[in-house]
Chains A and B, each alone.
Chain A
Amino acid sequence: MALETLIESLPSLFDGLVVTLLLTAFSIILGTALGVVLATGRSYASRPIAYLILIYEKILRGIPLLVLLFLIYFGLPQIGINMDPFTAAVVGLGLRSSAYQAQIYRGAINSIPEGQIHAAFSLGMNKLKAIRHVIIPQMLRLSIPGWSNEFTILLKDTSLAFGIGVIELMRQGRYIQVRDPDLILIVFLLIALIYFVMVFIANKTLRYIEKKYQMAGYQMEVHR
């Protein structure tokens, strides 16, 4: 009976959810770390390096994620680079996210007054210290809204890892559907709901963090 199949399948959906969350976590960490480096490099490194970063960003923002995942998982083995599907998905999602996050951070850097870095230099900080202690902390605070947006996009886009065989939420849903094709509507509605709830919780949590780490002068409230 369909309902029984569905109930029996719930644990597998849960397994898929765990994989989706792990994919999201690893990818956002990679994307954030790399994004911060790219953005500061683009703004403060020498011209050739800044230009290379620009090209990197343009390429990664210019190709569809599924194409990128296929290139990494199916393409790279041809030149001897082999990855399991999960790793390939983290690399693809993380790199793509880094390019978008770099944009977010660069916007934030551009809105930091030039005097901040002048003041840092005047205390005897070198460029690296000034970036680390003055620019990056302000940049991250200013980036929270953009980063929250990117986080939820990434969370939803982990579903594309389905395409290279990662057994995440979508793939588990597909297995259930194969077992009982009549469940297709209900299963994917359920999966849609799970994504929706995750995004909802993520947004609420990030909003809370944003408020908690808010400081005078950095409020981004709109006064109506």
Chain B
Amino acid sequence: MSMLEVKDIYKSYGDVQILKGVSFIMEKEETKVIIGPSGTGKSTLLRCINQLSPPDKGQIWLDGEEITNRKTNINKIREKIGFVFQDFNLFNHLTALRNVSIGLEKVKKIEKDAARKRAMQELTRVGLEAQVSQYPAQLSGGQKQRVGIARALAMDPDVILFDEPTSALDPELIGDVLDVMKSLCGKVAMLIVTHEMGFARNVANEIIFMEGGVIVEQGSPKEMFTNAKMKRTQEFLGRIGALYGEEETGG
């Protein structure tokens, strides 16, 4: 049994069908990267997985529990699925430390001192021990995103979903965030939607190429970058490669 199983997911917004039957599985501690053109449903897929926008059809299983079942307590499930947002979504009224500890305090009901100690550890892990008492507005984009990652990590999730975590960042700051993500490889399962091809190539165990609401092709970075079977995959990776250069960030 796989840790995460996504089976035949469909999702529409109004008349627009975004996801048209997406299936894949993920194992413990695996790093999987989803790539593909904009508007393909990559972010929607992540939001379907943690039920921020529940799918219209299909099933999702986490640790043998069907989370798409209406009887499942979705709040309990979400404790096990970390989510890192493109635009950070840090709690604006809380310091970096409290952003990370609030889930432990209010959801996991961990005693305040212990929760804050744990939050401190996670912030140190992402290199922000000096920023613990700053508010989100006082942090740079890269720092904000690292707080976002620490916030997800503190909950000890089975898997963390990253929704284009570096897309809102200055090029200079992207590296810090990618370094933190790289350091998590093999420690926690990560499902990452990104346009950072260098990162995908170097860090992913597997790459999923999505287009038009379906998975076109999936495989190891090596297969995908050097030996993609589908013409569409070759075109996409070729164009991205030409745009950004092969050995770009994350390498």
Interface residues in chain A, defined as those with a beta carbon under 8 Å from any beta carbon in chain B:
113, 115-116, 118-126, 129, 133-134, 137-138, 141, 215-218
The interface bits of chain B over 80-97 (1 if a CB of A lies within 8 angstroms of the residue's CB, else 0) are: 011101011111110000
**Bound CA span A207–B161, Å:** 43
**Bound CA span A134–B91, Å:** 7
Indicate if the CB atoms of B93 and A141 lie closer than 8 Å: yes
Indicate if the CB atoms of B78 and A121 lie closer than 8 Å: yes
In the complex, which residues 209-245 of chain B have their Cβ closer than 8 Å to any Cβ of chain A?
none
Residues of chain A within 8 A of B136, CB atoms compared: 216-217
Indicate if the CB atoms of B89 and A124 lie closer than 8 Å: no
Indicate if the CB atoms of A124 and B76 lie closer than 8 Å: yes
**Bound CA span A121–B52, Å:** 8
Indicate if the CB atoms of B151 and A123 lie closer than 8 Å: yes
Residues of chain A within 8 A of B50, CB atoms compared: 122
Residues of chain A within 8 A of B76, CB atoms compared: 124
Of B27-35, B99-107, B179-187, which binds chain A?
A: B99-107
Indicate if the CB atoms of B75 and A119 lie closer than 8 Å: no
Q: Is the interface of A mostly helix, strand, loop or mixed?
A: helix
**Bound CA span A122–B90, Å:** 12
Q: How far is the CB of A34 from chain B (nearest CB, A)?
A: 23
Is B79's CB within 8 Å of the partner chain A?
yes
Closest to A141 in B: B93
- How many A-B pairs have beta carbons closer than 8 Å: the answer is 77
Q: Which of A113, A123, A126 has the most CB of B within 10 A?
A: A123
Residues of chain A within 8 A of B137, CB atoms compared: 215-218
Closest to A127 in B: B75
Residues of chain A within 8 A of B108, CB atoms compared: 124
Indicate if the CB atoms of B85 and A115 lie closer than 8 Å: yes
Is B155's CB within 8 Å of the partner chain A?
yes
Residues of chain A within 8 A of B106, CB atoms compared: 125, 129, 133
**Bound CA span A217–B91, Å:** 11
**Bound CA span A116–B90, Å:** 7
CB < 8 Å neighbour of A126 from B75, B77, B135, B155: B75
Residues of chain A within 8 A of B38, CB atoms compared: none
Indicate if the CB atoms of B52 and A122 lie closer than 8 Å: yes
Indicate if the CB atoms of A123 and B85 lie closer than 8 Å: no
**Bound CA span A117–B160, Å:** 18
Indicate if the CB atoms of B107 and A116 lie closer than 8 Å: no
Residues of chain B within 8 A of A116, CB atoms compared: 89, 91-92
Residues of chain B within 8 A of A216, CB atoms compared: 134-138
Q: How far is the CB of B241 from chain A (nearest CB, A)?
A: 32
| Interchain Cβ contacts under 8 Å between A and B, 30 examples | A116-B91, A118-B89, A119-B83, A119-B90, A121-B52, A121-B78, A122-B52, A122-B78, A122-B82, A123-B102, A123-B103, A123-B107, A124-B75, A124-B77, A124-B78, A124-B79, A124-B103, A124-B108, A125-B107, A129-B106, A133-B102, A134-B93, A137-B93, A141-B93, A215-B93, A216-B135, A217-B92, A217-B135, A218-B93, A218-B137
